[in-house]
Amino acid sequence: MGDQTLSTLADQTQGAGDELRDLVSKLVTAADPLGRTFQGQARRTFDEFKRDADDVANDLDSALTRILGGVSGLDKEFGQGVTDMAAETQRQRQSADIDQARFR
């Protein structure tokens, strides 16, 4: 995994979330003219659909926010792991007796 993988994933997830919210909004907007033709129970059901669509959009936003928080935490930890690994490798290399490994 590259050092930019998680950052790229976060950016793509954010973009997908924005697109999903936009599509839900477009669905409600596109269906609105149809809803004006309903009366009685059909109108109430349509209004519930619109309300539920808003809830779905809000739930998507909340879920993606939590996912992005997790990805951000993973990215931070991964970066720290890379830094720690490089430091430990350098420390081990400096303490190694390379002359012992030479064939003479």
Chain segment 81-90, per-residue pLDDT in tens: 888 999 999 8
Confidence of residue 4 (pLDDT cuts 50, 70, 90): confident
Q: Which of 60, 49, 44 is nearest to 27 (CA)?
A: 49
Region 44-50 average pLDDT: 90
Reported as a pLDDT band with limits 50, 70 and 90, residue 24 is confident
CA distance 77 to 56: 31
Domain 5-93, CATH: 1.10.287
Rounded average pLDDT over 4-32: 84
Q: So what's the pLDDT on residue 101?
A: 65
Q: What is the pLDDT of residues 50-77, one digit of tens each?
A: 888 888 888 888 888 888 888 888 888 8
Please, are residues 7 and 75 in contact by the beta-carbon 8 Å criterion?
Answer: yes
Distance CA 89, CA 99 (A): 18
Res. 104: pLDDT tops 70? no
Give the pLDDT of residue 79: 84
Tell me how far apart the alpha carbons of residues 61 and 67 are, in angstroms, rounded to a whole number.
10
Confidence at 17, pLDDT banded by 50, 70, 90: confident
Backbone CA torsion sign across 4, 6, 7, 13: positive
CA proximity to 35, closest of 48, 20, 54, 24: 48
